[in-house]
Structure 1
Amino acid sequence: MDTLRSYQPDDLAACLGLFDENLPAFFAAEERSAFVRFLTRHAAQWNYQVLERAGQVVASAGYALGPAVGVASLCWGMVHPRLHRQGLGTVLLQARLRALRERPDIAQVVLDTSQHTQAFYARFGFVATRVVPGGYGPGLDRWDMALALETPQAPDEARPEL
């Protein structure tokens, strides 16, 4: 059974292991120090979560609000490579989008990713706003993407009375 929970400082080594397992296809080695800094200083503010399977951290991802009003940013999403294409990334993304849709102050979700995962986000409605060839390093393009969140209808607005 998989368990989604908030990141704890004891998860540092497991999350760094996930990062390292995803090199060089999904992250540039030069990004590791930024990830360490993120985990040690900002993970709580970015609502960083880990997905556990059989007591092992197998995926992680987070989101933050602002600094732009009405905008949330997704960050540092990763799944152990042996478990790619098994729905774990979808679980993480849907959990983050569900949490953000519950906030009436959030109208848009943004992220940056590579050419290797942009199609995954596009399946959920994210659209590319900018592409920077080699933006993360040689052979690793940066794709900036955005998703406009719909305002959920109240039950009485969904069906007009006759």
Structure 2
Amino acid sequence: MSEHPDRAAPSPRPYIRQDRDACLALFDGNVPRFFALSERADFARFLDRPSSDGTYLVLEREGRVVACGGFGVSADGATGELCWGMVDRTYHGQGLGRALTEARLRVAATKPGLRRIRLDTSQHTQGFYARFGFRTLSVTPDGYGPGLDRWDMILEF
């Protein structure tokens, strides 16, 4: 799919508990290419915990959650982390992932003392994050499951 410049990406808003089922549906729609089914329970637990150390955002289009992703900060305040980012598969290639990543990086920019942002992703999306300046630290073959490699990446300021 190509970018659709005539369809502006929606503005992100904070996740609320009523978004839980929609976010789980996004996860399910991205299995097995982008997530291993075995990760679903971890994602559900993440959605159920109060977010005291970070931000989880959703993007809606026509009243429906079509993307979600988080940002948190380490206890020492020096390292941020992008986590659980995903876009409805029917909307891939329409700029939503970019909008979500840019929103999370804007949140990071408000954190004094932050020196780096890390993330882990798969071989299918590592190139996407590389375009934002993230560089690869390590690759773990089958790190998430058979055929789904784990790429640890970092963006330093």
Aligned residues: 149
Identical-pair percentage: 52
The structure with the largest alpha-carbon Rg is 1
TM superposition score normalised by structure 2? 0.91
TM superposition score normalised by structure 1? 0.88
SS of equivalent to 1:11: helix
Q: Is the 1:49–1:60 Cα contact (8 Å) retained in structure 2?
A: yes
What is the letter of the counterpart of residue 136 of structure 1?
Y
Given the superposition, is the C-alpha separation of residues 3 and 98 from structure 1 closer, same or farther in structure 2, using an over 3 Å criterion? closer
- CA RMSD of superposed structures (Å): 1.3
Given the superposition, is the C-alpha separation of residues 57 and 42 from structure 1 closer, same or farther in structure 2, using an over 3 Å criterion? same
Deviations 1:60-102 (A, max 9, x none): 0011000354100110000001111111011011111112112
Q: Which moved more, 1:22-31 or 1:97-106?
A: 97-106
Q: Matches of 1:101 and 1:37 in 2, distance apart?
A: 27
- Which structure is richer in relative contact order (CA contacts within 8 A, separation 6 or more)? 2
Which structure 1 residue ranges, 4+ long, deviate > 6 Å from structure 2? none
1:45 aligned partner: 53
Structure 2: state its 5+ residue gaps.
1-7
Given the superposition, is the C-alpha separation of residues 99 and 142 from structure 1 closer, same or farther in structure 2, using an over 3 Å criterion? same
1:112 aligned partner: 120
What is the letter of the counterpart of residue 82 of structure 1?
T
1:65 aligned partner: 73
Cα offset for 1:44? 5.4
